[in-house]
Amino acid sequence: MGSSITQKILEKHFVSGSLTPGESLDIRIDQTLTQDATGTMAYLQFEALGLDRVRNELAVSYIDHNTVQVGFENADDHRYLQSVAAKKGVVLSRPGNGICHQVHLERFGAPGKTLIGSDSHTPTGGGIGMIAIGAGGLDVALAMAGVPFTIIAPRVIRITLKNALRPFVTAKDVILKVLERFSTKGNVNCIFEYAGEGVKTLSVPERATICNMGAECGVTCSLFPSDEITRDFLRAQHREECWIPLEADADAVYDGEFEIDLAALEPLTACPHSPGNIRKVSEMAGMKIDQVLIGSCTNSSYQDLVKVGMILDGHHVAEGVSLGIAPGSREVFEMISEDGTLTKMIKAGARILESACGFCIGNHFSPSTGGVSLRTNNRNFEGRSGTKSGQVYLVSPETAAVSAVTGVFTSPLEQDFVKEIRNVNAEDFFTDDSMLIFPPADSGDVEIIRGPNIGEPPRNTPLASELSGQVGIKVGDKITTDHIMPAGARLKYRSNIPLYSTFVFEGVDKEFPARCSERRDRGVANFIVAGQSYGQGSSREHAALCPMYLGVKAVLALSIERIHQANLCNAGILPLTLQSEDDYEKISPDDSLVIRDVRTQVSSGKPITLENVTKGYSFTCTLDVTELQRDMLLKGGRLNQIKETLV
């Protein structure tokens, strides 16, 4: 029996456990990446491990999220990140160098390698044939310490691409089609592996777009083969030596299959407020729009922006529409400025934005009240844009640019002002690594600089013998980490857990932090009750650390997403799965719950029995965790646990 690409890479990085889907598997991690919004906490945790230097092959720290710098906090974080990188042997990508996933693909990614990053869109690296996985900051800190990363051995789904895309139909439409089929839930512990003749028609940036938004399906990562197209991309990046061929064996066996006829696809959009809410752009035609934003780690490559330039050339942004464009990296920025694309954009009335996450994380460009915003990024959760009533539609750069000109939602297939569009694959990128700071070999004299907003990484206490408390909040399905821990204007508090904790569930229930901390101070535990797919979206471990700080001891949900589940365990919060809708319905906010003999119950590996004291009944939840996680839950989190073993 042949192997899939996934199996080949996992076998090469196997440390212990089992490759059988569903079993726990420890793999060696070659590369790590962090970004500033999750990075400060990751490096504070790395410092807490007490090691002099990182031990993995390559560690890169990117500054790309918090670049707005209102107040001193972000700049202090940048200074801390730069100094800790120099001290610990980490490469630093300075603000202005670009978005972590775009820059990593350009300058560091390599086929056949493993990468984990403290950002959920790390799987972008799958476009170049690497197993690239999003994780919480502490897991990345541990990988930097050389500790193997534990995953659940994945089910591998083969997505076969047939034929080729028509002009104006794009890689974004391919992944939106995948989202239409697989939705944003139910794909935990899967890997999407792309295959078929259609693969050969897609460039590395297009493949990266597809892998990037696999994160919205909740898969562990997505993967393309490494072929001559990958080699051409690496050659153009002056890194051909990193190339190895990598493809699935003809007789590889998969756990599921799906086929897409690229030639039959048409422009698609994800409607408010979920990336899985897919419609055809043609069905939306004519809807008035207020704003268009092009950029983000999903669609900001040179190829994307050249096509945007072709569309805007000689045209102007419609009155009443604000168009913002953020190139994904300094490399892309420089190239579009040299080839005239930037001039076309400026002439068309575009507002040129910094090469950073910016609008995507609600850092600026919030739409007007109820405003319709077409964006090329990957998430349109309610309120993420910074305007709760904002209506964000996710589209391809082509749909975005065409609509910016017409002023209404327009399918690029149904307009008549741009006759021709073609892919431009750079044969020689302007590579310039002068915004990367490589660490000194001897960092003895380097001083780590901290600002007043930078605190200690929080720690939990070992699990008590009994958990007795109250339901702090009851929420519904698809609660994202943006609901739990808002970003945007609150991002600057990422390094200060006590302060950031005062914003937990800010847009859902403003009283939650005060209610929980008051109970915590009286020795009463807090519980969160949730529906399906709790903790969707980002990798931000703050969505576990801040509730932990507020005294949350367990989450009872119908299902919990992969990265968030791991972050809860790392923080020492029990991730409990409710057994039925009925069990979910019966619990009310403020109900008193008790888990007796909880240490023994957690150790047993059996379902956990809880008592609803207010309503007078008992029920069970499962605790679907690995042995390592069971142990960390008993010890009050991963930091407490690891100190015992790290040499």
Q: Is the Cβ–Cβ distance between 557 and 583 less than 8 Å?
A: no
Kind and range of the H or E element at 325?
A: strand 322-325
What contacts 114, CB < 8 A, 6 or more positions away?
9, 13, 27, 28, 29, 30, 31, 130, 131, 132, 133, 149
Place of tokens 């007043």: 452
Looking at the Cβ atoms of 121 and 315, the one nearer to ligand MIC is: 121
Q: Is the Cβ–Cβ distance between 380 and 272 less than 8 Å?
A: yes
Helix (H, G, I), strand (E, B) or coil at 513: helix
Q: Binding partner of residue 539 among ligand MIC, ligand SF4, none, CB under 5 to 8 Å per kind?
A: ligand MIC
- Count the residues of the shown chain that bind ligand MIC, applying the rule CB under 6 A: 13
CB of 395 to ligand MIC, least distance (A): 17
Applying CB under 6 A, among 31, 32, 38, 83 the residue interacting with ligand MIC is 38
Applying CB under 6 A, among 78, 315, 483, 540 the residue interacting with ligand MIC is 540
Max CA distance (Å), the chain: 72
Looking at the Cβ atoms of 99 and 144, the one nearer to ligand SF4 is: 99
Looking at the Cβ atoms of 361 and 471, the one nearer to ligand SF4 is: 361
Q: Is the Cβ–Cβ distance between 527 and 614 less than 8 Å?
A: no
Q: Is 119 in the site for ligand MIC (CB under 6 A)?
A: yes
Looking at the Cβ atoms of 120 and 411, the one nearer to ligand MIC is: 120
Q: Is 209 in the site for ligand SF4 (CB under 6 A)?
A: no
Q: How far apart are CA 459 and CA 48, in angstroms?
A: 11
Q: Where are the alpha helices (DSSP H) in 255-340?
A: 281-284, 302-312, 330-338
Q: How far apart are CA 288 and CA 586, in angstroms?
A: 44
Q: Is 629 in the site for ligand MIC (CB under 6 A)?
A: no
Q: Binding partner of residue 82 among ligand SF4, ligand MIC, none, CB under 5 to 8 Å per kind?
A: none
Looking at the Cβ atoms of 170 and 481, the one nearer to ligand MIC is: 481
Applying CB under 6 A, among 132, 246, 281, 361 the residue interacting with ligand MIC is 361
Interface of this chain with ligand MIC, residues 482 to 521, rule: CB under 6 A: 487
Applying CB under 6 A, among 297, 491, 557, 595 the residue interacting with ligand SF4 is 297
What contacts 504, CB < 8 A, 6 or more positions away?
484, 485, 512, 513, 516, 546, 547, 550
CB of 487 to ligand MIC, least distance (A): 6
Interface of this chain with ligand SF4, residues 358 to 387, rule: CB under 6 A: 360-361, 377-378
CA-CA distances (angstroms) from residue 563 to 25, 117, 544, 644?
15, 11, 11, 24
The full DSSP string for 596-647 is: TTHHHHHHHTSPEEEEETTTTEEEEEE----HHHHHHHHHTSHHHHHTTT--
Binding track, positions 103-122, relative to ligand SF4; x by CB under 6 A: ----------------x-x-
Order of strands across the sheet with 31-35? 131-134, 114-117, 31-35, 58-62, 91-93, 436-437
Binding track, positions 470-489, relative to ligand MIC; x by CB under 6 A: -----------------x--
CB of 502 to ligand SF4, least distance (A): 23
Applying CB under 6 A, among 82, 296, 399, 536 the residue interacting with ligand SF4 is 296
What contacts 389, CB < 8 A, 6 or more positions away?
369, 370, 371
CB of 264 to ligand MIC, least distance (A): 31
Applying CB under 6 A, among 170, 203, 355, 539 the residue interacting with ligand MIC is 539
CB of 296 to ligand SF4, least distance (A): 4
Residues that bind ligand SF4 (CB under 6 A): 65, 99, 119, 121, 296-297, 357, 360-361, 377-378
